[in-house]
Structure 1
């Protein structure tokens, strides 16, 4: 189960999904993707063991056809109680006490269950949230929480967004042996529904920290304050409920594990699973470019904070005048891409820094630099880091997510949003070939020892075996639904 990724988009999460499906051919798979409007194009070559791709559009003009009514599942009184509890949760301050926090998460989960039962009975959850009664109740709850006045416009805006996000509850849940969510957040709604309906085990992986990235999205965001607060309350409640409800959690770094524990996860149901690559596909470079060159390979996206990299490069040029910067990647946010180009021009770097667009050959892109840089403000356990390390390139990275766990002592890890620190590390490596080559050799060996695809697949194979309970479904052979 994925949100905005496999198989309709590229990126690290999609790479990981594709690795699992191809790498575990003994399992039959369904891919359920939360999409924008359902018109997205499949961008991956799908293997034979991926039997179906189901898209659940969250933002199409017309909602999906409601489920077949099953009378008696949810009475009107039960639904109104669930709706009221759900609205109350949107204005409730998170409990720092672990036990009270667990109760809070359980209440949110119970409210979601009530909304699911209403949807299973043919009810329109999004419509109910937009009703006059619900809007009025939300305004009352907001006032009771001493948050001031919530305007009708803001209440309608927030419940409209949340109603669309709850659309997965209105889709018949999959029948599978395991439901594996690629991330926390909206994709877990499908897994919750399958567990409620069929007692299907629920597994959550997490590449970046979903909740942290939602907070980062709202920094300087365009939503009115009250709308953003309600949206974040929903996302926080959902993430915590999913951590508590999941049968197993497979964070992709110790950093992610700490976030999950802070938000209610059970340490006895957690296994840290690092991403892996096939080292033979990322051979070590035998030569270096003629000019001292820094390379970035990844998405052109605000979370990658390329502004810091460009500003750092301006400092590098002051000390290494013939240095070059090459930025490879597809633009996720066109406005951000244009802002990067404007910054390059504004700093007088047009003749030394280039935005190359997508890299058709990632290995050639890594090999085109002496140093590979990643200046993100949020990461999980990025493939680009271990790919570059396998290619025999030394990393300069910011200390976010699992980056430091990947790099260890084979590169430089500095504070995020610190151009001076990035520049100092790059200059040190560019001016010291012996140090650079020693660290690069150790980086490749670190990948061979710890971060291979074979190791990653073996870990997931073992975890699936823990979770799968013999059922009538299992008699047809193992099956997994990737969410």
Structure 2
């Protein structure tokens, strides 16, 4: 099969007065979870009321209940379950299917090359094999059995031995094959019919866009809040797999991320930090448009007063990426100086992270702070959470351009955050930024802000003005409307040009 072109093109020009049909895709977020990506999805659809949206939600088992009220222009929500069991079809697979599976395995066993040309060649070969695997999955009606039948296991173990000089156990081959069959589940679905597919993140979400692009030539827009590949590397140590399976997982996500950048007609990083990661992974700078998240100032009124005692507030998911454990450890340092201080943690644990939440509760008790650290659960009015604190903290190990920080700043609250993703770009002089996974540094910064009334007030004023001038929702939703017009070839479009300053930055690097 001929490899896909490096630079995808949009479809035929659309009449300017025809509403665009957009399929928005995300994994583990809207409409079944709260959090920044879900907020962004809701804002995007409401901010483009003349566009018609379909939403495809990649979920665990498809049994989730919606937590969001659908906007008027959201016509359909489809849940695509990745982890439900399916039965493999009987009979030996077609020779073309065996070749596709074998070729995909050949790319997955190879370590990342140092040479950029070799890396590009590997991504092209992976993308070609993935395309043929998608054809096989649709023909069979399922990905089940594609990578766990005898020919697939034999192909994987053979390629592994050739690449590493070592054998692979049957258990590892079956474990990896089973994982891959679930990760590729979107490829067994009928490709969506839309004017544009917009993936809210990289990874399996982009498979929906790839399938539509291969079948219909549909242009794909890719947004990244946090860098999907980076988060896989950060969290891989927590996965209960052997070294061989972990290597294959990370290699799959590396190749899929790079392939996604090749397929996407437009790539919309949410910070310069994300942009640099994407460029290093092979993204084309001419297809990149940096899009900072924004908020509606009317939804986040300035706090009129402060709590009676020094209070640190956190609002977000309770999971390892947010590194709430580091925040709790940092608060122990705060209490040594300010024993009357409180830490209020707003948010819920996503599915699968309930043990992490309980571990955070246990850590607070273990450090003797059960009376001072409260877990408030989710809130429907985020500004109430921000108003409840003297300072808002974020201790994440990975971020894109976090809503919680921009929302807190809109409320006139100073922030203390870890320096990940686009956090420093958001904060400016509206708070302090410290290294990630350093509880002592985070604790010292929190104490500094809590003890200095003038500094707190000054940072709060600067924070509000910074959001007003740079990070409003109207600014970014309008930019996405222009981007859709560009990639679809809509008549009369005025697509956003690549930021000149960022272009200069790329050329210098």
Fold equivalence (TM over 0.5): yes
2:110 aligned residue (89, 92, 101): 92
- SS of alignment partner, residue 286 of structure 1: coil
Q: Deviations over 1:95-140 (max 9, x none)?
A: 2322221111111100011112223433644312111111011111
Equivalent position of 1:127 in the other structure = 145
Partner Cα separation in structure 2 for residue 255 and residue 38 of structure 1: 34
Partner Cα separation in structure 2 for residue 290 and residue 99 of structure 1: 61
Partner Cα separation in structure 2 for residue 63 and residue 25 of structure 1: 41
Q: Deviations over 1:250-294 (max 9, x none)?
A: 011111111111111001100010111001110111111111111
Q: How far does residue 174 in structure 1 lie from its aligned partner after superposition?
A: 0.8
Q: How far does residue 147 in structure 1 lie from its aligned partner after superposition?
A: 5.5
Partner Cα separation in structure 2 for residue 138 and residue 44 of structure 1: 43
2:75 aligned residue (51, 74, 87): 51
Equivalent position of 2:452 in the other structure = 432
In the alignment, structure 1 residue 441 sits paired with structure 2 residue 461: yes
1:30 aligned residue (42, 47, 54): 54
Equivalent position of 2:495 in the other structure = none
1:278 aligned residue (291, 296, 303): 296
Partner Cα separation in structure 1 for residue 43 and residue 139 of structure 2: 38
> Which deviates the most, 264-273 or 300-309?
300-309
TM-score by length of 1: 0.93
Q: How far does residue 77 in structure 1 lie from its aligned partner after superposition?
A: 4.4
> Which deviates the most, 230-239 or 266-275?
230-239
- SS of alignment partner, residue 313 of structure 2: strand
The verdict on how the C-alpha distance between 1:19 and 1:320 changes in structure 2, with shifts beyond 3 A counting, is: same
1:20 aligned residue (44, 65, 70): 44
Partner Cα separation in structure 1 for residue 75 and residue 375 of structure 2: 39
Does the Cα contact within 8 Å between 1:177 and 1:469 map onto a contact in 2? no
> Which deviates the most, 3-12 or 76-85?
76-85
In the alignment, structure 1 residue 238 sits paired with structure 2 residue 252: no
Does the Cα contact within 8 Å between 1:178 and 1:203 map onto a contact in 2? yes
In the alignment, structure 1 residue 206 sits paired with structure 2 residue 224: yes
Equivalent position of 1:476 in the other structure = none
TM-score by length of 2: 0.88
Does the Cα contact within 8 Å between 1:79 and 1:115 map onto a contact in 2? yes
Partner Cα separation in structure 2 for residue 64 and residue 280 of structure 1: 53
Q: How far does residue 432 in structure 1 lie from its aligned partner after superposition?
A: 0.8
- SS of alignment partner, residue 145 of structure 1: helix
- SS of alignment partner, residue 137 of structure 1: helix
Partner Cα separation in structure 1 for residue 140 and residue 332 of structure 2: 59
Structure 2, unmatched stretches of 5+, are 1-24, 492-509
Partner Cα separation in structure 2 for residue 349 and residue 462 of structure 1: 50
Q: Deviations over 1:32-87 (max 9, x none)?
A: 1111122222221112311111221111123699xxxxxxxxx9444333222100
Partner Cα separation in structure 2 for residue 470 and residue 401 of structure 1: 33
Q: How far does residue 17 in structure 1 lie from its aligned partner after superposition?
A: 0.8
Equivalent position of 1:366 in the other structure = 386
Q: How does 1:290-439 map onto structure 2 within 5 Å?
A: 290-332=308-350, 333-439=353-459
1:187 aligned residue (196, 205, 222): 205
Partner Cα separation in structure 2 for residue 221 and residue 127 of structure 1: 23
- SS of alignment partner, residue 336 of structure 1: helix
Q: How far does residue 407 in structure 1 lie from its aligned partner after superposition?
A: 0.3
Superposition CA RMSD, Å: 1.7
The verdict on how the C-alpha distance between 1:284 and 1:185 changes in structure 2, with shifts beyond 3 A counting, is: same
Q: How does 1:116-265 map onto structure 2 within 5 Å?
A: 116-122=134-140, 124-146=142-164, 148-265=166-283
Equivalent position of 1:71 in the other structure = none
Partner Cα separation in structure 1 for residue 233 and residue 471 of structure 2: 30
Q: How far does residue 331 in structure 1 lie from its aligned partner after superposition?
A: 2.0
